[in-house]
Chains A and B, each alone.
Chain A
Amino acid sequence: DAGITQSPRYKITETGRQVTLMCHQTWSHSYMFWYRQDLGHGLRLIYYSAAADITDKGEVPDGYVVSRSKTENFPLTLESATRSQTSVYFCASSENPGAEEDTQYFGPGTRLTVL
């Protein structure tokens, strides 16, 4: 399927477990982003990547790890899940940040619950 996909769509895990959320895009966009969305906070950037093997921290990176070995994939790992990481996670991609046609396309989201 063309576009940006995330898996799993729903995940329940326990405190202390490692969890990996997957993000895949078919457009070959250079830029990819991970956000978390919590009630009352809007969208907050966790990590972003300008290209394969180039990643940088966003506003709330603690407790998360990313990698980007291929342009189309941008997995997000919670090394040791905590209850405060219960949230909805959105992946997004963009081709031309800063340009007039700049658009971030969002995936459908992963709802993560940490018990």
Chain B
Amino acid sequence: QQPVQSPQAVILREGEDAVINCSSSKALYSVHWYRQKHGEAPVFLMILLKGGEQKGHEKISASFNEKKQQSSLYLTASQLSYSGTYFCGTDRGSTLGRLYFGRGTQLTVWP
């Protein structure tokens, strides 16, 4: 039921790039990405809808391949503030808004 995220953890130096993957066994209507810092609530990053392949800002972007039921989050030139746990949430469309979250990818950025 839950999407599968990989890798489980990533350690980077400032300025390095990272890719986090999210894969579902079910057809998807949309994919949501969230970041959560330790002890805080998850914060929305972006949503990718069916038919919209890629979006985001210059340093944090994401893609959605609906045929493969996969999404990837790209973090380029990482900053210390990027540290946290990243979750993908998948909406299958049968009940809009009902998200199934992956187990998270812990990203640590060192100076």
Tell me whether B41 and A108 are in contact (CB under 8 A).
yes
> Count the B residues whose beta carbon is within 8 Å of the partner chain — how many?
27
Interface size on A, residues (CB 8 A): 28
B residues neighboring A (CB under 8 Å): 1-2, 29-30, 32, 40-44, 47, 49, 52, 87, 89, 91, 93, 95-104
Expressed in whole angstroms, the minimum distance between the Cβ of B35 and any Cβ of chain A is 11
Q: How many A-B residue pairs have CB under 8 A?
A: 62
Further contacts, 9 of them, CB under 8 A, given A45-B100, A109-B41: A41-B103, A42-B103, A42-B104, A90-B42, A98-B93, A98-B96, A101-B47, A102-B30, A108-B40
Interface residues of A in 2-61 (CB under 8 A from B): 31, 33, 35, 40-45, 48, 50, 56, 58-59
- In the bound complex, residues from chain B placing their C-beta under 8 Å from that of A101 are 47
Which of A35, A42, A103 interacts with B47 by CB under 8 Å?
A: A103
Residue contact B103 to A98, C-beta cutoff 8 Å: no
Tell me if A64 counts as interface (CB < 8 A to partner B).
no
B8: nearest residue on chain A (CB-CB)?
A: A40
Hey, which chain A residues are within 8 Å of B104, CB to CB? 42
